[in-house]
Structure 1
Amino acid sequence: MPAKPLKTPTDLPRNATSTVAQALNTILADSYALYFKTKNFHWHVSGPHFRDYHLMFDEQAAQILATTDLIAERVRKTGNVTLRSIGDISRHQTLSDNDADFVSPRDMLTELREDNLRLVEAFRAAKQAATDAGDNATEGIIDDWTDQAETRAWFLFEAGRDS
Structure 2
Amino acid sequence: MAEPAPLATPTDLNRNDTRSVADALNSALADCYALYLKTKNFHWHVSGPHFRDYHLLLDDQATQILAVTDAIAERVRKTGNLTLRSIGDIARRQTIADNDAEFVDPHAMLSELRDDNLKLVESFRVVKDAADSAKDNATSGIVDDWTDEAEERAWFLFEASRRG
How many residue pairs get aligned? The number is 160
Alignment correspondent of 2:100: 99
TM-score between the two structures when normalised by the length of structure 2: 0.96
Counterpart CA distance in 2 for 1:100 and 1:125 is 30
Counterpart CA distance in 1 for 2:27 and 2:68 is 13
Alpha carbons of structure 1 residues 5 and 124: separation in structure 2 relative to 1, 3 Å: farther
**1:149 corresponds to 2:138:** no
Alignment correspondent of 2:39: 38
Shift of 1:7: 2.2
Q: Tell me the amino acid that sits aligned with residue 157 of structure 1.
A: F
Shift of 1:9: 1.2
- Structure 2: gaps of 5 or more residues: none
Taking the TM superposition and a 5 Å limit, the aligned residue runs for 1:11-160 are 11-160=12-161
Counterpart CA distance in 2 for 1:5 and 1:161 is 52
- Aligned residue for 1:95, secondary structure, equals coil
RMSD over aligned Cα atoms = 1.0
Give me the identity figure in percent: 73
- Aligned residue for 1:82, secondary structure, equals coil
TM-score between the two structures when normalised by the length of structure 1: 0.96
Counterpart CA distance in 1 for 2:138 and 2:7 is 19
Counterpart CA distance in 1 for 2:136 and 2:125 is 14
Post-superposition CA distance 1:30-69 (Å, at most 9, x none): 0000000000000000000000000000000000000000
Counterpart CA distance in 2 for 1:101 and 1:131 is 42
Q: Tell me the amino acid that sits aligned with residue 10 of structure 2.
A: P
Q: Tell me the amino acid that sits aligned with residue 96 of structure 2.
A: L
Counterpart CA distance in 1 for 2:10 and 2:133 is 20
- Runs of 4+ in structure 1 off by over 3 angstroms are none
Post-superposition CA distance 1:85-136 (Å, at most 9, x none): 1111111111100000000000000000000000001101110100000000
Q: Tell me the amino acid that sits aligned with residue 146 of structure 1.
A: T
Shift of 1:6: 3.8
- Aligned residue for 1:114, secondary structure, equals helix
Q: Tell me the amino acid that sits aligned with residue 10 of structure 1.
A: T
Shift of 1:5: 8.5
